[in-house]
Amino acid sequence: MAEAGRVVALEANYCRVDLDHPGPGGHQRLLCTRRTRLAKGGSSIAVGDQVDVEDIDWVERRGVIASRGPRRNLLPRPPVANVSRVVVVVSLKEPQPDPLQITRFLVNAEHLDLPVELVLSKAEGLPEAWVQAWCERLETWGYHPLPMSTRDGRGLPSLARRLSEPGITVLCGPSGVGKSSLLNALVPGLALRVAPVSGRLRRGRHTTRHVGLVALPGAPGALVADTPGFNRPALPKTPAELARCFPDLRQFTREPCRFPDCRHDGDVGCVVPASWPRLELYQQCLGEVEARLAEERGMGRPRETVLREASRRRRQRHRQGEFSPPDLED
Ligand SMILES: Nc1nc2c(ncn2[C@@H]2O[C@H](COP(=O)(O)OP(=O)(O)OP(=O)(O)O)[C@@H](O)[C@H]2O)c(=O)[nH]1
Ligand SMILES: [Mg+2]
Ligand SMILES: [Zn+2]
């Protein structure tokens, strides 16, 4: 007989599944493989998926995933299915906040049309005026950032409240900003692996290697996904998709620009003012999206040239001592 459950972790060939109802002995978590015909039929499995488990061995606590339920959505990176909201975590120190990187994470999160929240970690021991300046800046981007710290507990109760809504919340952000530490602080006894930042740039060391779902105590139905940090989220494929991922831009374009394919970059009849605080960051992203499109259409520089230049820059950084351990995620 099949039992329904949810995938809470996925590592190489194994999934961990939490059953909706405990089996004999009260066991609820099973280590599962996937039926080969699942993959052949094109049904990939992601953390967050509802699945049916068959051939259960209650003694060994093993089973086989036979089928996957319908998906509400899928966040491609970090890969999580059936997401209700995304919390982007960036740190105010070690690693330092980087406006372009924050924008890329926010754009990546906005892509699914879900509620997106912003957390500023490691907020302890900094001049309060500086923390407030960051908050005010990010408010002009259309967010209500929450400064917090696992060291002095600042912001933790507010974060717990935001995460305790039913559904899956995905924590995502650069490596080393303290995503796993946050969850450890909120869930007694959790003990996710964390590690200090390192190197001249005080970057994270890609400590979390797999997505994992954690149930929040005292909040029925609330699950939080801890995810591996990465440094450079990809951008959407087209300028129109990119523009949709800036809530502060959407606010201007409620009244449409003169041309439906306006790039909002000084185009004739554009409603976006030159004073828009995120204009420059948007232009940098737009430049990248357009360069990739041109390259795909065969109008840009040949791909080999672009890759050769990137590799030369990497070698240069290496010589300057900026080289960080191999970044599996980037
Ligand atoms: N100063 C300070 N350090 C913190 C805080 N929270 C976490 N850290 C430290 O930041 C470092 C990285 O924390 P992790 O929780 O491993 O970071 P992560 O975002 O999960 O990193 P990845 O798993 O690599 O993506 C650790 O040394 C933590 O102790 C904080 O509020 N303030
Ligand atoms: Mg982690
Ligand atoms: Zn425009």
Ligand 1 atom, smallest distance to 208 CA: 23
The whole-number pLDDT of residue 326 equals 37
- The per-residue pLDDT for range 117-133, each reduced to its tens digit, is 999 999 999 999 999 99
From start to end of the chain, where are the E strands?
A: 3-11, 14-19, 29-34, 50-57, 62-68, 74-75, 80-81, 83-91, 116-121, 146-147, 167-172, 212-215, 222-226
Q: Which ligand is nearest to the CA of 253?
A: 3
Q: Which ligand is nearest to the CA of 203?
A: 1
> Residue with structure tokens 């230049």?
309
Homologous superfamily assigned to 3-71: Nucleic acid-binding proteins (2.40.50.140)
The whole-number pLDDT of residue 40 equals 74
The whole-number pLDDT of residue 245 equals 96
Percent of the chain at pLDDT > 90 equals 76
Q: Is the CB of 90 within 6 Å of ligand 1?
A: no
What does 214-238 look like in DSSP terms, one character per residue? EEPTTSTTEEEEE----S-PPPPSS
Closest CA to 67 of 38, 108, 105: 38
| pLDDT tens across the length of the chain (330 residues) | 799 999 999 988 899 999 999 988 888 999 999 988 887 777 789 999 999 999 999 999 999 999 999 999 999 999 999 999 999 999 999 999 999 999 999 999 999 999 999 999 999 999 999 999 999 999 999 999 999 999 999 999 999 999 999 999 999 999 999 999 999 999 999 999 998 888 877 888 888 999 999 999 999 999 999 999 999 999 999 999 999 999 999 989 889 999 988 999 888 999 999 999 999 999 999 999 999 998 888 765 665 565 565 566 556 555 554 433 334 334
The whole-number pLDDT of residue 319 equals 54
Residues 6+ apart with CB under 8 A from 232: 101, 104, 330
Q: From CA 268, how far away is CA 266, in angstroms rounded?
A: 7
CATH topology of domain 75-226: Rossmann fold (3.40.50)
Residue 195 CA to ligand 2 center (angstroms) comes to 8
Q: From CA 50, how far away is CA 20, in angstroms rounded?
A: 10
The whole-number pLDDT of residue 3 equals 94
The structural domains of the chain, with segments of one domain joined by +, span 3-71, 75-226, 239-299
Residue 137 CA to ligand 2 center (angstroms) comes to 27
- The per-residue pLDDT for range 88-121, each reduced to its tens digit, is 999 999 999 999 999 999 999 999 999 999 999 9
